[in-house]
Amino acid sequence: MYLTRRFYIALVLVILLLGSGYAFAPLFIIGQVALVILFLMALIDGYLLYSIHGIRAYRRCADRFSNGDNNEVNIRVESSYSRPVSLDVIDEIPFIFQKRDIDFKIELQANEGRNITYSLRPTRRGVYGFGHIRVFVTLQIGLLSRRYTCGEPLEIKVYPSYLMLHQYELLAINDNLTELGIKRIRRIGHHTEFEQIKDYVKGDDYRTINWKASARRHQLMVNVYQDERSQQIFNVIDKGRIMQQAFRGMTLFDYAINASLVLSYVALQKEDKAGLVTFDEHFDSFVPASKQPGHMQTLLENLYSQHTTFGETDFSALCVHMNKHVSKRSLLILYTNFTNISSMNRQLTYLKQLNRQHRLLVVFFEDADLKAYIAAPAQNTEEYYRHVIAEKFAFEKRLIVSTLKQHGIYSLLTTPENLSIDVINKYLEIKSRQLL
């Protein structure tokens, strides 16, 4: 039981009346009567509050949250009181959010229920713990408040952004992927693979006649071809300290994880095989490329448990193990970050080696804050110098793109927020131009 603000205001007024009674005697009598009435009202209020267990509340949300997305949480509050009540509902959300505004004040009529909906946006993967739901009830008298502890503690796992997959899936069904910025790229050439041999029927292309099979069967046979679809796509994610840089609360590593998950989904829709590689000081994890049912869940579970390290990534170990595990020519999408041209030159030998055996796309990040600073006008001489230094860093990023292009390596310089869209567009471009 808690005393409300209204009780303390009333008590202060009673004390003032009693104190004024020393100057004007009738006020002392009035103050005594007011004090008795105050305590009687408090007793009545307490009896009405505690005569029944009048409040039920429970939390409803998804079994897992999507990292970097708004996840909806619903609280259902029901009153069994036979009179209107005022509620102060506090949900004990995971401490990692550092939010103190999950506090809702609502009014319920007799035997009424209501839903409260809010959203949470996690920026880290892992297990998040919810506590209880605290409900403070006040009746119309409003002198006392009763606290109810509702709901059970709940643990929610935060996975890579699977909500984005649903968004892509719905837009793909409606053929509206261009709304997300995904370009429609015209397919160049005619790239096919053999499917089967069948009997010739009128209208078949005579250029596909299989003369050897026709001679054996003593009738015309033709080869049937289909578009080549089963290409291997590997998302290769750098787990080194360079990927710990944050943008809008999420690390570059988490942006890379979300983008690789979406790209894997798109690749599977294109009948390609999607795989995953992570590395840091050592070759870390490897998921073979596949398009079997349930493969997306395998990728999701593997990405969920990934974390960055504080060491320097070893690209030589990546080359050795890629030669060992991947024999077929594949598209490797390498998510990393280069701060300057020197850091890229140190790894250029290994990038060239990977590109000789596979088609390599190097994805690294443009500093969005630095870009915004360069766009802002300089106000004084000191800021002019700072702008020159900032533009030098931005120029080195563009120089990295140019250097990689000179060595026949595809690259993508993008901001974290546009990463998923830009990677998908680049993948579709490479696939349509048959560069794999």
Overall domain count for the chain: 3
pLDDT band, residue 143 (cuts 50/70/90): very high
How confident is the model over 345-369, as a mean pLDDT?
91
134 and 171: one domain?
Answer: no
239 and 274: one domain?
Answer: yes
290 and 200: one domain?
Answer: no
Domain closes at, from 227, 253, 279: 227
How confident is the model over 76-93, as a mean pLDDT?
93
Q: Give me the half-sphere count of Cα atoms (radius 13 Å) on the Cβ side of residue 400.
A: 29
Relative to beta strand 359-365, strand 144-150 is unpaired
The token pair at 253 is 């590593």
pLDDT tens digits, residue range 236-264? 999 999 999 888 788 999 999 999 998 99
237 and 145: one domain?
Answer: no
311 and 391: one domain?
Answer: yes
4 and 127: one domain?
Answer: yes
* DSSP character at residue 196: E
Which residues, other chains included, contact 102 with Cβ-Cβ below 8 Å and sequence gap of 6+? 90, 91, 93, 118
Global pTM reads 0.73
Whole-angstrom CA distances from 117 to 58, 162, 163, 356 are 12, 21, 18, 53
CATH number reported for the structural domain that contains residue 306 in this entry: 3.40.50.410
Q: What angle do CA 384, 388, 389 make, to 5 degrees?
A: 120
Per the model's pLDDT, the better-predicted residue between 228 and 417 turns out to be: 417
222 and 239: one domain?
Answer: no
Q: Does the pLDDT value for residue 293 go beyond 70?
A: yes
Q: Does the pLDDT value for residue 226 go beyond 70?
A: no
CATH number reported for the structural domain that contains residue 151 in this entry: 2.60.40.10
Q: Among 104, 108, 50, which Cα is nearest to 83's?
A: 108
Chain mean pLDDT for the chain: 86
Which residues, other chains included, contact 321 with Cβ-Cβ below 8 Å and sequence gap of 6+? 279, 283, 286
Q: At what angle do helices 252-269 and 419-432 cross, to 10 degrees?
A: 40
Q: Does the pLDDT value for residue 163 go beyond 80?
A: no
Whole-angstrom CA distances from 346 to 228, 254, 313, 414 are 36, 25, 11, 21
pLDDT band, residue 66 (cuts 50/70/90): confident
Backbone angles phi, psi at 368, to 5 degrees: -65, -40
The token pair at 54 is 């009048």
Q: Does the pLDDT value for residue 171 go beyond 60?
A: no
Relative to beta strand 71-79, strand 113-120 is antiparallel
Sheet containing strand 55-61, edge to edge, reads 55-61, 71-79, 113-120
pLDDT tens digits, residue range 91-107? 999 988 878 778 899 99
Q: What pLDDT is stored for residue 102 in this prediction?
A: 83
Q: Among 364, 366, 359, which Cα is nearest to 408's?
A: 359
252 and 234: one domain?
Answer: yes
How confident is the model over 96-124, as a mean pLDDT?
89
247 and 380: one domain?
Answer: yes
401 and 316: one domain?
Answer: yes
- The domain in which residue 64 lies consists of 1-159
289 and 147: one domain?
Answer: no
312 and 368: one domain?
Answer: yes
